[in-house]
Amino acid sequence: MSRPTVSQERRSELEHKVQKSKEIIREAFGKFDAKQLAVAWTGGKDSTTMLWIIRQVCLEDGFTQPRAMFIEEGDTFPEIMDFVSEVSKKWNVDLDVCMNKDVHDAAGGVLGAKVLVSKLNERNQREIRERLKLDVESFPFEAESFIGNHLMKTVPMNIFIEKNSIKGIFQGLRWDEQPARKQDEYFEFKEKEDLQPPHTRIRPILHFMERDIWDTIFTFGIPHVCLYEQGYRSLGAKTTSVKLSNVPAWEQDLEHTSERAGRRQDKEKMMERMRKLGYM
């Protein structure tokens, strides 16, 4: 298996980017107490790299490592669960695995199973009726459908933030992930809304491109989940992440092909468009 090696010049470039991230992270620690901060960790290459950089800052400046929030959406790759478990032990990370158990149990834990809205708890019902403004009686249990994404990912995150009085949450988003991201800022304050606690979202690695992440991983020896070796470029829920290649992610043509081509969530967006255009 070939691992990319980088030139001195490139290494220097990467160190620069890491340094920039550290500045953002330090700014966050300046604004908030370590106990009020948390890291949204998916086990993917971006958030793991971000977690590593946060860890470096904590080691360097003597901060307490913020707790990590891992969202179990009911359709997680076992490889990712194992990886997250392993790394959190190695790095002494306070890990919180969050799940919308109510929805998961209503589906009997079975993907695709029909969930009756009336059987859900009040919070979930309100989320569907008031936040999503949907007037449905049931929906299939899928992590990356419109409803699924909200109930299984956004809701647990909001509950986690509320429960732990989190003021700032680190997210591993990058500008080049998709065009919608181009407007993202390092610090974004989310106002209090019904069912959403006020909090700041901090994105320390926005300026990293996909190639930069891989080069950083190999240059600094940051762990990554084995699924990338198998050809997955982008990881989401297990049933909706498709690998379009058998070649390790970092060996694929990152610059000219789409990182998210195999992500079902984007397929959802598109199918929604097709529906609106009269096609389905």
Site for another protein, rule CB under 8 A = 178-180, 256-258, 260-261, 266-267, 269-271, 273-274, 276-280
Nearest to 155 by CA among 206, 100, 207: 100
Contact call for residues 174 and 46 (beta carbons, < 8 A): yes
Nearer Cβ to another protein, position 223 or 231?
231
DSSP for the chain?
-------HHHHHHHHHHHHHHHHHHHHHHHHS-GGGEEEE--SSHHHHHHHHHHHHHHHHHTPPPPEEEEE--S---HHHHHHHHHHHHHTT--EEEE--HHHHHHTTT-TT-EEEGGGS-HHHHHIIIIIS----SEEE--TTSHHHHIIIIIHHHHHHHHHTT--EEE----TTS-GGGGG--SEEEEPPBTTB--EEEE-TTTT--HHHHHHHHHHHT----GGGTTT-SS--STTTB----SS-GGGS-TTTS-TTTTBHHHHHHHHHHHHHTT--
Contact call for residues 263 and 169 (beta carbons, < 8 A): no
Nearer Cβ to another protein, position 116 or 270?
270
Number of Cβ within a 10 Å radius of residue 171: 20
Minimum Å gap between C-beta 51 and another protein is 26
Question: Going by C-beta distance under 8 Å and a sequence separation of 6 or more, which residues neighbour residue 112?
Answer: 140, 141, 142
Minimum Å gap between C-beta 278 and another protein is 5
Minimum Å gap between C-beta 276 and another protein is 3
